Amino acid sequence: MRHVDFSPLYRSTVGFDRLFTMLDTLGQPEGGQSYPPYNIEKTGEDAYRISMAVAGFAEDEISIEAHRNVLTVKGDRSAETESDGSELLYRGIASRAFERRFQLADHVDVVGAALRNGLLHIDLKRNIPEELKPRKIAITPVSGDKARQIEAKTVN
């Protein structure tokens, strides 16, 4: 994919910096980051859920932070110690540290998070303020006797 240069548009627009930053980062690969895998699902009209496969991580080894429309999920495993004296011959379950960032839309808040069966579920809700919601404007009918005449022809 070719890189598109948005710098000429920066000079002629005001207030779209965040949009152009998002478009710039969209064109850049994430460096092949595929761990941990995740799903994003819509669970209601204004409710969403991010599910991440974090098998082997405990609640105290995962941190979730939401700041300025960016949700950051970090996982850092402490060094494992073989308490039963066994020797690990093959490691198929990933235990490396990770950091995954999600760009949140305006007015999307993190409601909660839960770790169940190796899946981290992060629930999100879009809360649109009342002043930004569409509202219906009532049309008042005008009775015929109150109708005003806009133009009139004069007769000579």
Q: What is the distance between the alpha carbons of residues 103 and 68, in angstroms, rounded to a whole number?
A: 9
Candidates 93, 97, 99, 98; CA nearest to 55 is: 93
Ranges of the chain with pLDDT below 70:
1-33, 79-84, 94, 143-150, 152, 156
Is the pTM higher than 0.75?
no
**How many CA atoms lie less than 13 Å away from 45 in the CB half-sphere?**
2
Set out the domains of the chain in order of their start, with CATH numbers.
Answer: 1-32 (no CATH), 35-80+88-130 (2.60.40.790)
pLDDT digits 0-9 by tens, 49-83: 999 998 888 888 999 999 888 899 999 877 665 55
Core vs surface per residue 82-102: b (16+ CB within 10 A) or e: eeeeeeeeeeeeeeeebebeb
The single residue listed with the structure tokens 């949009």 is 19
Q: What confidence score (pLDDT) does residue 156 get?
A: 67
